[in-house]
Structure 1
Protein backbone atom coordinates (compact mmCIF):
# COMPACT_ATOMS: atom_id res chain seq x y z
CA UNK A 1 0.00 0.00 0.00
CA UNK A 2 1.41 3.38 -0.96
CA UNK A 3 2.01 6.28 1.42
CA UNK A 4 -1.25 7.94 0.39
CA UNK A 5 -3.31 5.07 1.75
CA UNK A 6 -1.12 4.84 4.84
CA UNK A 7 -1.74 8.50 5.67
CA UNK A 8 -5.46 8.12 4.99
CA UNK A 9 -5.60 5.20 7.40
CA UNK A 10 -4.03 7.32 10.14
CA UNK A 11 -5.89 10.55 9.51
CA UNK A 12 -7.46 10.50 12.88
CA UNK A 13 -3.98 10.52 12.70
CA UNK A 14 -6.09 18.53 10.86
CA UNK A 15 -17.27 30.89 8.07
CA UNK A 16 -18.46 33.58 7.86
CA UNK A 17 -17.25 36.08 10.46
CA UNK A 18 -19.08 39.15 11.70
CA UNK A 19 -16.19 41.20 12.97
CA UNK A 20 -13.98 40.77 16.01
CA UNK A 21 -14.71 41.91 19.55
CA UNK A 22 -11.78 42.00 21.97
CA UNK A 23 -12.41 42.00 25.72
CA UNK A 24 -10.35 43.52 28.48
CA UNK A 25 -7.52 41.49 29.96
CA UNK A 26 -9.29 40.40 33.15
CA UNK A 27 -12.57 39.73 31.38
CA UNK A 28 -10.73 37.79 28.70
CA UNK A 29 -9.01 35.58 31.27
CA UNK A 30 -12.38 34.81 32.88
CA UNK A 31 -14.03 34.19 29.51
CA UNK A 32 -11.18 31.89 28.43
CA UNK A 33 -11.43 29.91 31.67
CA UNK A 34 -15.14 29.35 31.04
CA UNK A 35 -14.51 28.41 27.39
CA UNK A 36 -11.82 25.89 28.32
CA UNK A 37 -13.88 24.25 31.06
CA UNK A 38 -16.90 24.04 28.74
CA UNK A 39 -14.75 22.54 25.96
CA UNK A 40 -13.33 19.92 28.32
CA UNK A 41 -16.83 19.09 29.58
CA UNK A 42 -18.02 18.60 25.97
CA UNK A 43 -15.62 15.67 25.48
CA UNK A 44 -17.74 12.64 24.48
CA UNK A 45 -18.49 10.43 27.47
CA UNK A 46 -17.79 6.77 26.68
CA UNK A 47 -15.63 3.83 27.73
CA UNK A 48 -15.50 1.97 24.41
CA UNK A 49 -16.51 2.97 20.91
CA UNK A 50 -17.01 1.20 17.59
CA UNK A 51 -17.38 3.22 14.39
CA UNK A 52 -17.24 2.96 10.63
CA UNK A 53 -15.82 5.72 8.45
CA UNK A 54 -15.44 6.36 4.75
CA UNK A 55 -12.14 8.08 4.01
CA UNK A 56 -11.36 9.86 0.75
CA UNK A 57 -7.74 10.79 0.08
CA UNK A 58 -6.78 13.18 -2.70
CA UNK A 59 -3.42 14.65 -3.67
CA UNK A 60 -1.97 16.21 -6.81
CA UNK A 61 -1.90 12.85 -8.59
CA UNK A 62 -4.77 10.66 -7.41
CA UNK A 63 -7.99 10.25 -5.47
CA UNK A 64 -8.74 7.13 -3.46
CA UNK A 65 -11.55 6.07 -1.13
CA UNK A 66 -11.40 3.41 1.58
CA UNK A 67 -13.64 2.11 4.35
CA UNK A 68 -12.13 2.29 7.84
CA UNK A 69 -13.37 0.41 10.89
CA UNK A 70 -12.50 2.19 14.12
CA UNK A 71 -12.52 0.86 17.66
CA UNK A 72 -11.46 2.75 20.75
CA UNK A 73 -11.02 2.22 24.45
CA UNK A 74 -10.92 5.77 25.71
CA UNK A 75 -7.40 6.97 26.65
CA UNK A 76 -6.02 3.45 26.12
CA UNK A 77 -6.35 2.00 22.60
CA UNK A 78 -7.17 3.15 19.06
CA UNK A 79 -7.61 0.28 16.58
CA UNK A 80 -8.23 0.78 12.86
CA UNK A 81 -8.74 -1.50 9.87
CA UNK A 82 -8.74 -0.13 6.31
CA UNK A 83 -10.45 -2.08 3.53
CA UNK A 84 -11.76 -1.83 -0.02
CA UNK A 85 -14.63 -4.07 -1.19
CA UNK A 86 -14.27 -6.16 1.96
CA UNK A 87 -10.54 -6.81 1.42
CA UNK A 88 -8.32 -5.80 4.34
CA UNK A 89 -5.59 -3.41 3.25
CA UNK A 90 -4.11 -2.40 6.59
CA UNK A 91 -4.50 -2.62 10.35
CA UNK A 92 -3.19 -0.35 13.09
CA UNK A 93 -3.19 -0.56 16.87
CA UNK A 94 -2.18 2.57 18.77
CA UNK A 95 -1.64 2.92 22.51
CA UNK A 96 -0.20 5.82 24.53
CA UNK A 97 3.29 4.32 24.13
CA UNK A 98 3.24 2.35 20.87
CA UNK A 99 2.21 2.40 17.21
CA UNK A 100 1.79 -0.98 15.51
CA UNK A 101 0.80 -1.18 11.87
CA UNK A 102 0.90 -3.46 8.84
CA UNK A 103 -0.34 -3.31 5.26
CA UNK A 104 -1.10 -6.25 3.01
CA UNK A 105 -0.28 -4.86 -0.45
CA UNK A 106 3.43 -4.30 0.12
CA UNK A 107 3.70 -6.80 3.00
CA UNK A 108 5.33 -4.27 5.32
CA UNK A 109 4.89 -3.40 8.99
CA UNK A 110 5.94 -0.95 11.68
CA UNK A 111 6.07 -1.61 15.41
CA UNK A 112 7.53 1.16 17.53
CA UNK A 113 6.95 4.68 18.83
CA UNK A 114 5.18 7.69 17.27
CA UNK A 115 8.19 8.83 15.19
CA UNK A 116 6.97 7.23 11.94
CA UNK A 117 3.47 8.67 12.23
CA UNK A 118 4.84 12.11 13.15
CA UNK A 119 7.13 11.99 10.11
CA UNK A 120 4.27 11.11 7.75
CA UNK A 121 1.97 13.83 9.10
CA UNK A 122 4.68 16.49 9.25
CA UNK A 123 4.11 17.38 12.92
CA UNK A 124 4.68 15.78 16.29
CA UNK A 125 1.74 13.58 17.27
CA UNK A 126 0.98 11.28 20.18
CA UNK A 127 -1.95 9.21 21.40
CA UNK A 128 -3.82 12.12 22.99
CA UNK A 129 -3.57 14.22 19.82
CA UNK A 130 -4.77 11.36 17.63
CA UNK A 131 -7.74 10.74 19.94
CA UNK A 132 -8.53 14.47 20.05
CA UNK A 133 -8.69 14.72 16.24
CA UNK A 134 -11.13 11.81 16.05
CA UNK A 135 -13.41 13.27 18.74
CA UNK A 136 -13.40 16.97 17.83
CA UNK A 137 -11.23 18.17 20.71
CA UNK A 138 -8.31 20.60 20.63
CA UNK A 139 -5.05 18.93 19.66
CA UNK A 140 -3.10 20.96 22.22
CA UNK A 141 -4.10 21.69 25.82
CA UNK A 142 -5.62 25.18 26.09
CA UNK A 143 -3.97 26.60 29.19
CA UNK A 144 -5.33 29.63 31.03
CA UNK A 145 -3.03 32.62 30.89
CA UNK A 146 -1.26 31.33 27.79
CA UNK A 147 -4.06 31.77 25.22
CA UNK A 148 -6.13 34.70 24.03
CA UNK A 149 -9.78 34.52 22.97
CA UNK A 150 -12.09 36.76 20.97
CA UNK A 151 -15.49 36.42 19.37
CA UNK A 152 -15.87 35.95 15.62
CA UNK A 153 -19.52 35.61 14.65
CA UNK A 154 -20.87 32.44 16.29
CA UNK A 155 -17.40 31.15 17.17
CA UNK A 156 -14.58 31.79 19.59
CA UNK A 157 -11.11 32.23 18.14
CA UNK A 158 -8.31 31.01 20.42
CA UNK A 159 -4.57 31.22 19.90
CA UNK A 160 -1.44 31.25 22.09
CA UNK A 161 -0.27 34.63 23.35
CA UNK A 162 3.25 33.66 22.28
CA UNK A 163 3.81 31.39 19.29
CA UNK A 164 7.01 29.31 18.98
CA UNK A 165 9.37 30.15 16.13
CA UNK A 166 8.01 28.97 12.78
CA UNK A 167 4.95 27.34 14.37
CA UNK A 168 1.53 29.04 14.48
CA UNK A 169 -1.48 27.43 16.16
CA UNK A 170 -5.04 28.73 16.18
CA UNK A 171 -8.52 27.30 16.49
CA UNK A 172 -12.16 28.25 16.09
CA UNK A 173 -14.65 26.84 18.60
CA UNK A 174 -18.43 26.79 18.19
CA UNK A 175 -20.05 29.00 20.81
CA UNK A 176 -23.23 26.92 21.09
CA UNK A 177 -21.60 23.62 22.05
CA UNK A 178 -17.86 24.39 22.59
CA UNK A 179 -16.75 21.82 20.01
CA UNK A 180 -13.97 22.54 17.51
CA UNK A 181 -15.01 24.10 14.20
CA UNK A 182 -11.47 24.23 12.80
CA UNK A 183 -7.87 24.03 13.94
CA UNK A 184 -4.81 25.23 12.05
CA UNK A 185 -1.10 24.51 12.40
CA UNK A 186 1.32 26.32 10.12
CA UNK A 187 5.07 26.59 9.59
CA UNK A 188 5.52 29.69 7.41
CA UNK A 189 9.24 29.26 6.79
CA UNK A 190 8.61 25.80 5.35
CA UNK A 191 5.45 26.92 3.49
CA UNK A 192 3.56 24.20 5.32
CA UNK A 193 0.01 24.37 6.72
CA UNK A 194 -2.37 21.80 8.19
CA UNK A 195 -6.06 22.61 8.73
CA UNK A 196 -8.62 20.31 10.36
CA UNK A 197 -12.28 21.27 9.93
CA UNK A 198 -15.44 19.72 11.40
CA UNK A 199 -18.56 20.13 9.27
CA UNK A 200 -21.12 19.18 11.91
CA UNK A 201 -21.70 17.20 15.09
CA UNK A 202 -24.23 14.50 15.92
CA UNK A 203 -25.73 13.62 19.30
CA UNK A 204 -25.34 9.98 20.32
CA UNK A 205 -26.30 8.84 23.83
CA UNK A 206 -26.11 12.42 25.07
CA UNK A 207 -22.65 13.22 23.66
CA UNK A 208 -21.63 15.17 20.56
CA UNK A 209 -19.49 13.33 18.01
CA UNK A 210 -18.12 14.65 14.70
CA UNK A 211 -20.07 13.84 11.55
CA UNK A 212 -17.34 14.73 9.07
CA UNK A 213 -13.68 15.68 9.45
CA UNK A 214 -11.89 17.48 6.62
CA UNK A 215 -8.10 17.62 6.68
CA UNK A 216 -6.18 19.87 4.30
CA UNK A 217 -2.39 19.80 4.22
CA UNK A 218 -0.14 21.78 1.91
CA UNK A 219 3.58 22.18 1.57
CA UNK A 220 4.88 24.60 -1.05
CA UNK A 221 3.24 23.52 -4.33
CA UNK A 222 1.89 20.19 -3.00
CA UNK A 223 -1.61 19.82 -1.56
CA UNK A 224 -3.37 16.89 0.10
CA UNK A 225 -6.96 16.62 1.32
CA UNK A 226 -8.44 13.85 3.43
CA UNK A 227 -12.17 13.69 4.18
CA UNK A 228 -13.48 11.34 6.88
CA UNK A 229 -17.21 10.71 7.14
CA UNK A 230 -18.56 8.82 10.14
CA UNK A 231 -21.22 6.43 8.86
CA UNK A 232 -21.90 4.75 12.19
CA UNK A 233 -20.88 5.36 15.82
CA UNK A 234 -21.72 2.98 18.67
CA UNK A 235 -20.51 3.97 22.17
CA UNK A 236 -20.05 1.51 25.03
CA UNK A 237 -20.29 -1.71 23.05
CA UNK A 238 -18.34 -4.92 23.64
CA UNK A 239 -15.28 -4.91 21.38
CA UNK A 240 -11.86 -6.49 21.01
CA UNK A 241 -8.69 -5.39 19.24
CA UNK A 242 -7.32 -8.28 17.15
CA UNK A 243 -3.85 -7.51 15.84
CA UNK A 244 -1.06 -9.83 14.76
CA UNK A 245 1.66 -8.90 12.29
CA UNK A 246 1.74 -11.68 9.64
CA UNK A 247 4.87 -13.75 9.20
CA UNK A 248 7.20 -12.79 6.38
CA UNK A 249 6.41 -9.05 6.38
CA UNK A 250 9.28 -6.57 6.05
CA UNK A 251 9.78 -3.87 8.69
CA UNK A 252 9.47 -0.24 7.58
CA UNK A 253 12.75 1.54 8.23
CA UNK A 254 12.84 5.19 9.28
Structure 2
Protein backbone atom coordinates (compact mmCIF):
# COMPACT_ATOMS: atom_id res chain seq x y z
CA UNK A 1 0.00 0.00 0.00
CA UNK A 2 2.77 2.44 -0.89
CA UNK A 3 1.04 4.40 -3.62
CA UNK A 4 -0.72 7.59 -2.37
CA UNK A 5 -3.42 7.04 -4.98
CA UNK A 6 -4.13 3.53 -3.70
CA UNK A 7 -4.21 4.83 -0.13
CA UNK A 8 -6.70 7.54 -1.10
CA UNK A 9 -8.98 5.07 -2.87
CA UNK A 10 -8.80 2.66 0.06
CA UNK A 11 -9.77 5.43 2.48
CA UNK A 12 -12.70 6.32 0.25
CA UNK A 13 -13.85 2.71 -0.05
CA UNK A 14 -13.50 2.04 3.70
CA UNK A 15 -15.58 5.11 4.49
CA UNK A 16 -18.37 4.12 2.15
CA UNK A 17 -18.35 0.50 3.36
CA UNK A 18 -18.81 1.60 6.95
CA UNK A 19 -21.77 3.79 6.22
CA UNK A 20 -23.50 1.35 3.92
CA UNK A 21 -23.87 -1.74 6.07
CA UNK A 22 -27.63 -1.52 5.79
CA UNK A 23 -30.64 -3.75 6.09
CA UNK A 24 -33.92 -4.84 4.55
CA UNK A 25 -36.89 -6.92 5.46
CA UNK A 26 -38.61 -10.25 5.14
CA UNK A 27 -42.40 -9.95 5.04
CA UNK A 28 -41.99 -6.19 5.03
CA UNK A 29 -44.17 -3.76 3.15
CA UNK A 30 -42.94 -0.79 1.20
CA UNK A 31 -44.07 2.60 2.42
CA UNK A 32 -45.73 4.87 -0.11
CA UNK A 33 -44.71 8.44 0.63
CA UNK A 34 -48.07 10.17 0.38
CA UNK A 35 -47.54 13.07 2.77
CA UNK A 36 -47.21 16.66 1.64
CA UNK A 37 -44.65 19.05 3.09
CA UNK A 38 -46.21 22.15 4.61
CA UNK A 39 -44.75 25.64 4.94
CA UNK A 40 -46.66 25.92 8.22
CA UNK A 41 -44.39 23.44 10.03
CA UNK A 42 -41.52 24.96 11.99
CA UNK A 43 -37.98 23.57 12.20
CA UNK A 44 -38.63 22.53 15.81
CA UNK A 45 -41.75 20.60 14.80
CA UNK A 46 -39.90 18.79 11.99
CA UNK A 47 -37.06 17.90 14.36
CA UNK A 48 -39.49 16.61 16.98
CA UNK A 49 -41.25 14.36 14.46
CA UNK A 50 -37.92 13.10 13.10
CA UNK A 51 -36.64 12.13 16.53
CA UNK A 52 -39.91 10.53 17.63
CA UNK A 53 -39.85 8.29 14.54
CA UNK A 54 -36.42 6.81 15.28
CA UNK A 55 -36.51 3.00 14.87
CA UNK A 56 -36.79 1.09 18.14
CA UNK A 57 -35.39 -2.45 18.24
CA UNK A 58 -32.73 -4.51 20.02
CA UNK A 59 -31.25 -6.71 17.29
CA UNK A 60 -31.52 -7.06 13.53
CA UNK A 61 -30.33 -9.57 10.97
CA UNK A 62 -30.72 -9.50 7.20
CA UNK A 63 -29.27 -10.16 3.79
CA UNK A 64 -28.17 -7.14 1.84
CA UNK A 65 -27.15 -6.83 -1.79
CA UNK A 66 -24.37 -4.24 -2.08
CA UNK A 67 -23.12 -3.03 -5.46
CA UNK A 68 -19.91 -0.99 -5.55
CA UNK A 69 -19.16 1.32 -8.48
CA UNK A 70 -15.67 2.80 -8.67
CA UNK A 71 -14.61 4.37 -11.96
CA UNK A 72 -15.42 1.90 -14.72
CA UNK A 73 -15.48 -1.05 -12.34
CA UNK A 74 -18.66 -2.43 -10.79
CA UNK A 75 -18.98 -5.39 -8.47
CA UNK A 76 -21.67 -6.68 -6.20
CA UNK A 77 -22.34 -9.35 -3.62
CA UNK A 78 -24.99 -10.38 -1.11
CA UNK A 79 -23.84 -10.21 2.52
CA UNK A 80 -25.17 -11.40 5.86
CA UNK A 81 -25.82 -8.45 8.14
CA UNK A 82 -26.35 -8.39 11.91
CA UNK A 83 -26.71 -5.57 14.38
CA UNK A 84 -27.15 -5.15 18.10
CA UNK A 85 -28.31 -1.58 18.39
CA UNK A 86 -25.78 0.79 19.98
CA UNK A 87 -23.24 -2.05 20.36
CA UNK A 88 -22.22 -4.00 17.23
CA UNK A 89 -22.59 -3.90 13.44
CA UNK A 90 -21.39 -7.07 11.66
CA UNK A 91 -21.12 -7.97 7.98
CA UNK A 92 -20.03 -11.28 6.43
CA UNK A 93 -19.46 -12.31 2.82
CA UNK A 94 -20.50 -15.81 1.63
CA UNK A 95 -18.43 -18.62 3.18
CA UNK A 96 -16.87 -16.08 5.52
CA UNK A 97 -14.39 -14.95 2.86
CA UNK A 98 -14.50 -11.44 4.31
CA UNK A 99 -15.92 -10.02 7.51
CA UNK A 100 -16.30 -6.60 9.07
CA UNK A 101 -17.26 -5.77 12.65
CA UNK A 102 -17.52 -2.30 14.13
CA UNK A 103 -18.21 -1.37 17.73
CA UNK A 104 -18.15 1.99 19.54
CA UNK A 105 -14.37 1.58 19.95
CA UNK A 106 -13.14 -0.49 17.00
CA UNK A 107 -13.26 -0.79 13.22
CA UNK A 108 -12.09 -4.26 12.12
CA UNK A 109 -12.24 -6.41 9.02
CA UNK A 110 -10.34 -9.15 7.22
CA UNK A 111 -10.23 -10.53 3.68
CA UNK A 112 -9.28 -14.17 3.14
CA UNK A 113 -8.71 -13.69 -0.58
CA UNK A 114 -5.88 -11.19 0.00
CA UNK A 115 -4.80 -12.49 3.43
CA UNK A 116 -5.10 -8.97 4.84
CA UNK A 117 -6.81 -7.34 7.81
CA UNK A 118 -7.51 -3.91 9.30
CA UNK A 119 -7.76 -3.28 13.04
CA UNK A 120 -8.15 0.37 14.04
CA UNK A 121 -10.44 3.10 15.29
CA UNK A 122 -12.50 5.89 13.71
CA UNK A 123 -9.63 8.37 13.40
CA UNK A 124 -8.85 7.48 9.78
CA UNK A 125 -12.47 7.70 8.68
CA UNK A 126 -13.14 10.88 10.67
CA UNK A 127 -10.16 12.57 9.05
CA UNK A 128 -11.29 11.55 5.59
CA UNK A 129 -14.97 12.47 5.91
CA UNK A 130 -14.12 15.68 7.74
CA UNK A 131 -16.48 15.14 10.67
CA UNK A 132 -15.99 13.46 14.02
CA UNK A 133 -17.27 10.08 12.88
CA UNK A 134 -18.20 7.51 15.52
CA UNK A 135 -20.39 4.44 15.94
CA UNK A 136 -23.52 6.48 16.68
CA UNK A 137 -23.20 8.53 13.51
CA UNK A 138 -22.66 5.41 11.40
CA UNK A 139 -25.67 3.75 12.99
CA UNK A 140 -27.85 6.83 12.50
CA UNK A 141 -27.03 6.89 8.80
CA UNK A 142 -28.05 3.25 8.52
CA UNK A 143 -31.35 3.99 10.24
CA UNK A 144 -32.22 7.10 8.23
CA UNK A 145 -31.58 9.45 11.14
CA UNK A 146 -29.66 12.74 11.33
CA UNK A 147 -25.99 12.27 12.19
CA UNK A 148 -26.00 15.08 14.76
CA UNK A 149 -28.39 15.81 17.62
CA UNK A 150 -30.68 18.34 15.97
CA UNK A 151 -31.48 19.94 19.33
CA UNK A 152 -27.87 21.00 19.86
CA UNK A 153 -28.19 24.10 17.69
CA UNK A 154 -30.91 26.20 15.98
CA UNK A 155 -32.03 25.05 12.53
CA UNK A 156 -34.08 26.55 9.74
CA UNK A 157 -36.44 24.73 7.43
CA UNK A 158 -37.90 25.22 3.97
CA UNK A 159 -39.93 23.06 1.60
CA UNK A 160 -37.87 21.62 -1.25
CA UNK A 161 -39.61 19.30 -3.76
CA UNK A 162 -41.95 17.92 -1.10
CA UNK A 163 -39.19 17.36 1.47
CA UNK A 164 -38.38 19.43 4.51
CA UNK A 165 -34.94 20.94 3.81
CA UNK A 166 -33.36 21.26 7.24
CA UNK A 167 -30.01 22.92 7.88
CA UNK A 168 -28.15 24.56 10.79
CA UNK A 169 -29.03 28.24 11.07
CA UNK A 170 -25.31 29.03 11.20
CA UNK A 171 -23.50 26.76 8.74
CA UNK A 172 -19.85 26.09 9.57
CA UNK A 173 -17.28 27.68 7.28
CA UNK A 174 -15.57 24.41 6.38
CA UNK A 175 -18.58 22.06 6.29
CA UNK A 176 -22.04 22.55 4.82
CA UNK A 177 -24.69 20.11 6.06
CA UNK A 178 -28.20 19.58 4.75
CA UNK A 179 -30.98 17.12 5.61
CA UNK A 180 -34.02 16.43 3.46
CA UNK A 181 -36.80 15.02 5.67
CA UNK A 182 -39.72 13.03 4.28
CA UNK A 183 -43.16 14.49 5.18
CA UNK A 184 -44.82 11.03 5.39
CA UNK A 185 -42.66 9.34 8.06
CA UNK A 186 -40.11 12.08 8.88
CA UNK A 187 -37.09 9.92 8.11
CA UNK A 188 -34.34 11.26 5.88
CA UNK A 189 -34.80 11.47 2.12
CA UNK A 190 -31.21 12.63 1.79
CA UNK A 191 -28.13 13.61 3.78
CA UNK A 192 -25.71 15.98 2.05
CA UNK A 193 -22.36 17.07 3.42
CA UNK A 194 -19.98 19.32 1.48
CA UNK A 195 -16.40 20.48 2.11
CA UNK A 196 -15.84 22.95 -0.69
CA UNK A 197 -12.23 23.85 0.14
CA UNK A 198 -11.12 20.21 0.24
CA UNK A 199 -13.42 19.23 -2.64
CA UNK A 200 -15.05 16.47 -0.62
CA UNK A 201 -18.67 15.42 -0.74
CA UNK A 202 -20.75 12.78 0.99
CA UNK A 203 -24.34 12.17 -0.08
CA UNK A 204 -26.75 9.52 1.18
CA UNK A 205 -30.04 9.18 -0.70
CA UNK A 206 -32.87 7.04 0.66
CA UNK A 207 -34.88 5.97 -2.39
CA UNK A 208 -37.53 4.10 -0.39
CA UNK A 209 -38.48 2.89 3.09
CA UNK A 210 -40.29 -0.16 4.42
CA UNK A 211 -42.16 -1.11 7.55
CA UNK A 212 -40.91 -4.01 9.68
CA UNK A 213 -42.84 -4.81 12.86
CA UNK A 214 -44.12 -1.23 12.98
CA UNK A 215 -40.61 0.14 12.50
CA UNK A 216 -39.79 2.34 9.49
CA UNK A 217 -36.44 1.30 8.00
CA UNK A 218 -34.57 2.16 4.78
CA UNK A 219 -35.27 -0.15 1.86
CA UNK A 220 -33.07 1.24 -0.92
CA UNK A 221 -30.07 3.48 -0.37
CA UNK A 222 -27.51 5.05 -2.66
CA UNK A 223 -24.34 6.54 -1.20
CA UNK A 224 -21.79 8.66 -3.03
CA UNK A 225 -18.45 9.69 -1.52
CA UNK A 226 -16.16 11.99 -3.47
CA UNK A 227 -12.63 13.20 -2.79
CA UNK A 228 -11.40 15.55 -5.52
CA UNK A 229 -11.83 13.51 -8.72
CA UNK A 230 -12.08 10.12 -6.96
CA UNK A 231 -15.62 8.84 -6.47
CA UNK A 232 -17.15 5.71 -5.03
CA UNK A 233 -20.87 4.92 -5.26
CA UNK A 234 -22.76 2.12 -3.58
CA UNK A 235 -26.33 1.01 -4.17
CA UNK A 236 -28.11 -1.42 -1.87
CA UNK A 237 -31.13 -3.66 -1.95
CA UNK A 238 -32.23 -4.87 1.48
CA UNK A 239 -33.85 -8.25 1.97
CA UNK A 240 -34.83 -10.82 4.58
CA UNK A 241 -34.76 -8.79 7.78
CA UNK A 242 -35.84 -10.11 11.16
CA UNK A 243 -35.90 -8.03 14.32
CA UNK A 244 -35.22 -8.84 17.96
CA UNK A 245 -33.99 -12.40 17.51
CA UNK A 246 -30.92 -13.76 19.26
CA UNK A 247 -27.83 -13.12 17.11
CA UNK A 248 -24.10 -13.94 17.29
CA UNK A 249 -21.12 -11.97 15.97
CA UNK A 250 -18.27 -14.42 15.26
CA UNK A 251 -15.08 -12.58 14.36
CA UNK A 252 -11.45 -13.69 14.60
CA UNK A 253 -8.60 -12.41 12.45
CA UNK A 254 -6.74 -15.45 11.03
CA UNK A 255 -3.09 -15.85 11.97
CA UNK A 256 -0.41 -14.83 9.49
CA UNK A 257 -2.47 -12.14 7.76
CA UNK A 258 -0.84 -8.86 6.70
CA UNK A 259 -2.10 -5.77 8.51
CA UNK A 260 -3.33 -2.88 6.39
CA UNK A 261 -1.75 0.31 7.72
CA UNK A 262 -2.69 3.65 6.20
CA UNK A 263 -0.80 6.78 7.25
**Length-normalised TM-score, structure 2:** 0.82
Pairing 1:213–2:221 present: yes
| Structure-1 separation of matches of 2:203 and 2:186 | 18
Match of 2:33 in 1: none
- Gap runs ≥5 in structure 1: 14-19
CA gap of 1:5–1:167, structure 2 versus 1, over 3 A, is closer
Match of 1:55 in 2: 66
Q: Secondary structure at the match of 1:33?
A: helix
Please give the root-mean-square deviation of Cα atoms over the aligned residues, in Å.
2.3
Pairing 1:169–2:180 present: no
| Displacement after TM superposition at 1:252 (Å) | 1.9
8 Å CA contact 1:33, 1:144 repeated in 2: no
Match of 2:98 in 1: 90
Question: Per-residue displacement from partner, 1:46-95 (whole Å, max 9, x unpaired)?
Answer: 111001111111121311112222111111111111x2xx3433212211
| Structure-2 separation of matches of 1:163 and 1:66 | 38
- Gap runs ≥5 in structure 2: 1-5, 22-36
* One of 111, 118, 128 as aligned partner of 1:103: 111
Match of 1:16 in 2: none
Q: Secondary structure at the match of 2:253?
A: coil
Match of 2:246 in 1: 238
Match of 1:64 in 2: 75
| Displacement after TM superposition at 1:22 (Å) | 6.6
| Displacement after TM superposition at 1:186 (Å) | 0.5
Match of 2:53 in 1: 42
Q: Secondary structure at the match of 2:250?
A: coil
Q: Secondary structure at the match of 1:237?
A: coil
CA gap of 1:116–1:219, structure 2 versus 1, over 3 A, is closer
Q: Secondary structure at the match of 2:19?
A: coil
Question: Per-residue displacement from partner, 1:161-219 (whole Å, max 9, x unpaired)?
Answer: 11222210001000111010001000111222111000111011001010011001223
Match of 1:17 in 2: none
| Displacement after TM superposition at 1:151 (Å) | 2.0
CA gap of 1:9–1:150, structure 2 versus 1, over 3 A, is closer
